[in-house]
Structure 1
């Protein structure tokens, strides 16, 4: 089989998953690459035509060892026939646990044939300059690994006669899945009003519509998934985490998950 078109489908609040997928696509080296960004609320309303024949790379971050609830909801709008898929999760240097297996099972439900999978590392949502957790990742080494992974995927597909001859992709994880996926912890970033210029950036990057701006910034805590896109994108540094439990988790991750982990690849020769 020849890969003629690649579609990147992703939920990527802070951009790390998107960068990994773009690296993989660069390694596959085809001219026709399209992106379907499911990150923002309008991702739920997108009319996405069924996939057929093209190679689809599906990516999402890992929240508490699982796929984000909102990512699952948006991915469930996809429909595929006779389509190979590459599955990618990006985690913050702790563990990816059941997330990649969950993505594999979901992709099969949607009609895809998983041909390869990977778990890459991205800067943790809770990371700051003061409390680093995989800061700056994916870095240049990760992007190179993503490109190499893409080249291996292309070579693997080249010897297939059709998508349905693809053998079962072995992915680590357990089912039933462990609890995770964010939302239960009822906390959210707060706005430092003396610094905030009410520019609206925080609202524009929020994947759930939890942040609104109308003269001042308001946050619906029950909608917050703690992706920290608002914190990382605020040009004034006015969005911060103040909750003590949240800070304690970040400190624990900094102290216990500082040893660099490398991407894990599945379904290709390493």
Structure 2
């Protein structure tokens, strides 16, 4: 069973990333306009206020700098000085904001935009920030309402993704985007949310409303189900000092009677678990 590591009370905790250089776990509280960090060896936490909602982010070649997917723009963020350097505005429909994102194995940032309206419609899309040119290109994938689950196979030749309003995890060949197909069907009350891939090619997916993290074989079959004390689990990641910790963010938004685990950072030790070092965005700010 997952345990509470940080009782952060996040309205919408998301996008956990383990940094092997600083031995810290970073994540975002999207609705709280915050970037957070936790250091397991000392048990200390840190918070940085953001100018707007932070949907996702990535490590970069410089350990003190992150690439941010803010709701309206992509920016570099220097954690030491607090300086923001804008790269470009969020593309696509004006009723969308940047949501889930992750670097591919080549160091480009792949992200999605989600619809902010009610009812939510599939007017969001997937994009890629090219690390060499710092330009944004649209990816030829179907429109989405809530893009999530963006992650890549260990060799980088398969991309996983989802629309959280659909009970499916999809995948395609990458970077060609060919052979778009259903990877796995999500069974139960939960909706697919964030995901990560381990060194053996298994996909770990958190289920919003399902209170669990499910591990899928590379062929899409359910391999393992891990219950969580939080109802709205949002995204898992593998890390920790020994590399065998499975962390998971959660949310308490829209819960009438949240408990301590809702909105907390959760973790569990999984013997034999092997993660993949998080791919860094290899682009650099203009000098």
Task: Give me the TM-score of the superposition, normalised by structure 2.
Answer: 0.25
Higher strand share: 2
- Larger RCO: Structure 1 or Structure 2 (Cα < 8 Å, ≥ 6 residues apart)? 1
Higher helix share: 1
Greater Rg, structure 1 or structure 2?
1
